[in-house]
Structure 1
Amino acid sequence: MSEVIFYGADWCSDCRRSKAQLNELGVKYELRDVEKEPEFAIQSELVAGRKNIPVILFEDGKFLVEPSNIQLADALRERGLIA
């Protein structure tokens, strides 16, 4: 598993914002498009317990749903993925 798995869709503005932040910070992630692959939608819902996206899953099993930029940066920092 990648250190970060990103469940999202192209039409989702929160997904676009979080992906842009990960890209700007140089954080590598595995993108799982829930629109293009129905199995990813099921996985995302199993992780989060709801259908909201993005769902950002970390290697330690913790996850964020629709995080703000601050929440995402804090989670990345806690895991040593950014300084």
Structure 2
Amino acid sequence: MMRAWILPMLFVLTGSAVATGQVLEGSPGAAAALLLAFLGLAGVSSPLLFPRSVSAQEAQRRSAVDGRPVVYWRPGCTYCIRLRMRLGRSARRLHWVDIWRDPAGAAAVRAVNDGNETVPTVVVAGRSHTNPDPDWVREQLAPSA
């Protein structure tokens, strides 16, 4: 769980250091703007941006019941962030599995991606799709609406 927060913490620490340097140079406005930018990057790369993750086993069980896709992801993944942002509120209707928190989820991703932990991997009706277009994923939600 700790490694999910490494990148956001690095953004916060770097932003704080850069902002401190700007304040010491006499530019408090630039310091505030830079700090806000780094805090924004920290927020976007944090696990807080994503819906609550469930285990791979629970996601598969839920998907079998309601037919909704399962998304395997990891914090800090730019492609996962892109998928999450482009899905908007629809993202809450998917079953999200953080492969850094769930070894079974990581194993499931490796099984369909030639041993690589390539995310996002979306499973729809038992078929895996690696880094699919967000519009396509949204279309997969339509039947279960």
Same structural fold, with TM-score higher than 0.5 when normalized by the shorter chain: yes
Q: Aligned-pair RMSD on alpha carbons?
A: 2.2
- Structure 2 counterpart SS, 1:52: coil
Which residue matches 2:97? 32
Aligned equivalents of 1:75, 1:7: Cα separation in 2: 13
Bigger helix share: 2
Bigger Rg over Cα? 2
Partner of 1:13: 78
CA gap of 1:39–1:31, structure 2 versus 1, over 3 A, is same
Amino acid at match of 2:135: A
Q: Which residue of 2 aligns with 1:56?
A: 122
TM-score, normalised via structure 2 length:
0.45
Q: Which runs of 5+ in 1 are unaligned?
A: none
Query: What is the SS of the residue equivalent to 2:134?
Result: helix
1:15-62 Cα deviation digits (max 9, x unpaired): 11112222x15241111101112221001122343321110111x222
Q: Which residue of 1 aligns with 2:134?
A: 72
* Corresponding letter in the other structure for 1:26: S
Structure showing greater relative contact order (alpha-carbon pairs closer than 8 Å, 6 or more residues apart):
1
Moved runs in structure 1, 4+ residues, more than 3 A? 47-50
- The structure with the greater share of residues assigned to strand is 1
Structure 1 length as normaliser, TM-score?
0.72
Which structure 2 segments of 5+ residues have no match?
Answer: 1-61
The share of aligned pairs that are identical, in percent, is: 17
Report the AA paired with residue 134 of structure 2: L
Number of corresponding residues: 76
